[in-house]
Amino acid sequence: MKVLVTGGAGYVGSAVVWQLARAGHQVVVFDSLYQGHRGAVHPGATFVEGDLADRAAVGRVMAEHTPEGILHFASHTRVGESMDQPFLYLGDNVRNGLNLLEAAAEHGVGRFILSSTANLFGLPERVPIDEAAPIRPGSPYGEGKLILEQMLRWMDDRFGMRYAALRYFNAAGALSPELGEDHTPETHLIPIVLQVALGQRPHVTVYGEDYETPDGTCVRDYVHVEDLADAHLRALDALEGGSRTYNLGSGRGYSVREVIETCRQVTGHPIPTVTGERRPGDPAVLVAASDRIRAELGWRPRHDLLAIVQSAWAWHSANPHGYAGRGAAS
């Protein structure tokens, strides 16, 4: 089908675009390049540079390309920044999403996939976290995603727009040595650790070593970006059978220390660490229960932590300065 991908030049969005193109879909990427990279976009996709804040531009891309489905990734994405700038996240992310939904309804788009977040669950009462867990967003970023999920329920009810809300835990890894993670500033653990191995940072700061976990450091669920992309394609096909919500994770937690040690094994670098204070609001353990999507769509994450780090290292070592280092637009 013909699909519009907002934020399709970003980390997860670009990986999904490549998989959509490989599966034979016609893909239109709409991205402002605020955080994305032109060099990450599949060469077979149609690229339109634009901002979701521009309602007229959204309407034009919808009218010109008449997509049957939309995958929405475009968003401010830094949880910590959202705590400092709540109106940016409760403002821009929600308003821009509303612009997109209004245009989609006007043009009769029948399928919509939202890139949502595990931050909806804040400090969870139980782990692993399934879709029935209490929703208590841990930041304005998570609150904005929740508002969009609630909007989608009404899009289905009023306009018959079938949707999937896909709640990621920790996206990680690289689709290939030519397509990977490139953020400025970088806030994700695995690329930060690998930047130490590349000599771009002196050490990794471990924020807290006194959590109630086996080694005292936080435990997180990492899911390979290729597995995430697979979930998006399965969900897009499944929307014919109705709207749905899924938590996406591997179901296996790894501590900060385990991640660092795996990076040492893969890179052969000692990767020094220093201990920092706990960060406010950091849960000790966040692990997904992905039983629903496994049962309904047959999805299985195929990459463990070692495979994730190996793929990330292949990307970072080949592209130590990201897309800009290859002469790509950044």
* 97-154 per-position pLDDT tens digit: 999 999 999 999 999 999 999 999 988 989 999 999 999 998 999 999 999 999 999 9
- Give the residue numbers marked as catalytic: 141
Please state the separation of Cα 136 from the chain's center in Å: 19
Q: What is the pLDDT of residue 327?
A: 54
Regions of the chain short of the pLDDT cut 70: 327-330
- 3-state secondary structure string across 36-77: CCHHHCCCCCEEEECCCCCHHHHHHHHHHHCCCEEEECCCCC
Does residue 257 sit in the same domain as residue 151? no
Dist CA 249 CA 7 (whole Å): 21
Does residue 27 sit in the same domain as residue 97? yes
CATH of residue 289: 3.90.25.10
Does residue 153 sit in the same domain as residue 88? yes
Q: What is the pLDDT of residue 18?
A: 98
Fill in the amino acid letter for 252: R
Does residue 143 sit in the same domain as residue 202? no
Phi, psi of 85 (to 5 degrees): -130, 65
Q: What is the pLDDT of residue 282?
A: 85
Q: What is the pLDDT of residue 328?
A: 39
Does residue 229 sit in the same domain as residue 206? no
Dist CA 173 CA 126 (whole Å): 27
Residue 230's domain spans which residues? 2-169+222-248
Q: What is the pLDDT of residue 12?
A: 97
Number of domains present in the structure of the chain:
2
Does residue 19 sit in the same domain as residue 120? yes
Is 178 part of any domain? no
